[in-house]
Amino acid sequence: NSEHDQEHALLFPFMAQGHIIPFIELAKLIHHRRRCTVTVVSTPANVRALTSSFPSTPTFRLVPLPFVPTHHSLPSTSESSDTLPTHLFSRLLHASLSLRPAFSALLLDILSSSAAPSRLCVISDVFTSWATEVADALGAHHAVFTTCGGYGTTAYFSLWQHLPHARTDAEEFSVPGFPDSFRLRRSQLSSYIREADGADEWSAVLRPAIATSLESKSMLCNSVEEVETTGLRLLRNYTGLCVYAVGPLLPFQGDKKSSYKRAGKAHGISVDACLEWLDAHPPNSVLYISFGSQNTISARQMMELAKGIEASGKAFIWVIRPPVEFDIGGEFQKEWLPEGFEERARQHARGVLVRDWAPQLEILSHASTGAFLSHCGWNSALESLSRGVPLIGWPLASEQFYNSMMLEEELGVCVEVARGKEVERVVREVMGEERGAEMRRRAAGVRGLLEEAMREGDGEAKGSSLRAIDEFLEVALSGKSE
């Protein structure tokens, strides 16, 4: 028993891999720093997948909240965004609101039990921020955790709250919360935001979620002061909240049996097979390609990408998911790629196509991986930089456009590729001797800062993110004022 075992942190991620993974890592970090009780709630299928991912964890408890996807016109097995075509994402967001009564009951239960905690703090996702209202009504402390970076969160919040593109016909416009010199182009917006007018189904759920997030007592951010100095300043100014940068929260590594699995699905390739394949290649020679857990490109773009990689002559590992026009759970089809592409790739071990899900951090950690062609989801970006691997940005949705821009313009560790065109040129450049070497040097610099932020120690020797999480926990669980 520790001096803090009467304290309880209750975490509530939205049901998407890019949210669940950093939330679980936050749960572990909180337990590691404080030895208090930590609980993570989710829906039954996500809890089952997490239980099987971590057979021997428990530094945290997993609690399922009842959820029946078909009651929300979702496919019967769909409890997270990676099992859904993009046009159904907003339905999952709406469906998550139905968890509120069960969540309230759970909180009441915890607070009225004979072993009630001395302090309870609810940490919710931005998308499930109504959980902070429930906590507030019951007198519990609360905070939101944004799984995006400071810069991306600010851009995302501001765009949804102000819809600046809907107020002008101009191709370029300024965004409230950013310096006037910062201009966005309409073409950089993801289609949901571009088409949003405030009365659409995305606005209906996201705008209240953001407004409630801004009412929470404080915000945790999966970022690092020394890496995103400008982004975190913008976020603090925009939200007016006390923002604790506690990143990088990276997927657990080190035990091959306990890596994250997608609900009900194993990796499309074993970790051993993947690493063995990489072992046979020289340092920095392999391009890793993935668009994250929930996004994909069009069939035409997939064809162009394949041709571009082949023309670049670089070795690659490509995590391939059905293009947007096809059933997300459907079988792999040869027609998506140029004729004979996979066979040619297999010859001379030039490339591997991984169906659906790969051990990403293991791949990025391997010395042979030289660059990551990524949609620039924030977790992917952090994972890549934590291993000193530069990026080729192909942003598709959410705040990925702003991540890619920040990574390119501020950190110099990314080059954006133009939608399937220019793949060959950009791959050669990023994996080449001149710009490539410079980008790797910069990425190694960022890697150093990410590692520093998590350095154990006392006083000034302690990394900035550990200082921030300790400070947050004092406020949230000891009642120290902010």
Build a one-symbol-per-residue string for 294-313: x at contacts with ligand UDP by CB under 6 A, - elsewhere: xx------------------
Work out whether 18 is an interface residue with ligand UDP (CB under 6 A): yes
Measured from the CB of residue 249, what is the shortest distance to ligand UDP in angstroms? 10
125 as an active site residue: the answer is yes
CA nearest to 381, candidates 290, 473, 480: 290
Which two three-digit tokens encode residue 292? 């994250």
Query: With the CA atoms of 192, 196, 201 and 207 taken in that order, what torsion angle do they form, in degrees rounded to the nearest 10?
Result: 100
Q: Which is nearer to ligand UDP, 154 or 293 (CB)?
A: 293
Q: Pick out residues in 244-283 that bind ligand UDP (CB under 6 A).
A: 251, 260
Cα 21 from Cα 266, distance rounded (Å)? 16
Segment interacting with ligand UDP (CB under 6 A) among 177-185, 197-205, 296-304, 358-366: 358-366
Say whether residue 99 binds ligand UDP (CB under 6 A): no
Neighbour-count burial of 314, counting CB atoms closer than 10 A to its CB (0-12 exposed, 13-18 middle, 19+ buried)? buried
Q: To which H or E segment does residue 317 belong?
A: strand 315-320
**Sign for the pseudo-dihedral over CA of 96, 101, 106, 111:** positive
When binding is defined by CB under 6 A, the residue of 202, 244, 378, 402 that contacts ligand UDP is 378
Q: Which of 8, 31, 125, 356 is catalytic?
A: 125
Contacts of 101 (CB under 8 A, 6+ apart): none
Position 74 contacts ligand UDP (CB under 6 A): no
Which range touches ligand UDP (CB under 6 A), out of 310-318, 374-382, 435-443, 473-481? Answer: 374-382
Among residues 131 and 361, whose Cβ is nearest to ligand UDP? 361
For the chain, state the CA radius of gyration.
22
Interface residue with ligand UDP, options 196, 319, 337, 407 (CB under 6 A): 319
Nearest CA to 12 out of 117, 135, 109, 108 is that of: 135
Confirm or reject binding of residue 362 to ligand UDP (CB under 6 A).
no
Q: Given candidates 80, 379, 384, 404, which one binds ligand UDP under the rule CB under 6 A?
A: 379
Rule CB under 6 A: say whether 293 interacts with ligand UDP. yes
Is residue 360 a contact point for ligand UDP (CB under 6 A)? yes
Angle at 295 between CA 294 and CA 296, to 5 degrees: 130
Q: Which stretch binds ligand UDP (CB under 6 A): 7-15, 17-25, 58-66, 101-109?
A: 17-25
Q: Which of 69, 292, 395, 420 binds ligand UDP (CB under 6 A)?
A: 292
Decide if residue 24 touches ligand UDP (CB under 6 A). no
Decide if 19 is catalytic.
yes
- What secondary structure does DSSP assign to 121-187, as a single string? EEEEESTTTHHHHHHHHTT-EEEEEESS-HHHHHHHHHHHHH-GGGG--SSEEE-TTS-TT-EEEGG
21 binds ligand UDP (CB under 6 A): yes
Enumerate residues 202-231 that contact ligand UDP by CB under 6 A.
none
Pick from 328, 437, 321, 300: nearest CA to 375 = 321
Give min distance, CB of 16 to ligand UDP, in A. 6
* CB contact set of 268 (below 8 Å; sequence gap of 6+): 319, 354, 355, 356, 357, 358
Of 236, 245, 244, 126, residue with least CA distance to 177: 236
Coil/strand/helix, residue 475: helix
Indicate which residue of 4, 8, 19, 375 is catalytic.
Answer: 19
Please identify which residue in 383, 399, 416, 429 interacts with ligand UDP, judged by CB under 6 A. Answer: 383
Residue whose CB is nearest to ligand UDP in the complex, by number? 18
Closer to ligand UDP by Cβ: residue 261 or 462: 261
Answer for which of 357, 372, 394, 401 binds ligand UDP (CB under 6 A) is 357
**Cβ nearer to ligand UDP, comparing 37 with 404:** 404
Phi, psi of 148 (to 5 degrees): -95, 175
The backbone torsions φ and ψ at residue 288, rounded to the nearest 5 degrees and listed phi first, read -100, 130
Helix (H) or strand (E) holding 320, with range, is strand 315-320
Write out the catalytic residue numbers. Answer: 19, 125
Q: Which residues bind ligand UDP (CB under 6 A)?
A: 16-18, 21, 251, 260, 290, 292-295, 319, 357-358, 360-361, 377-380, 383
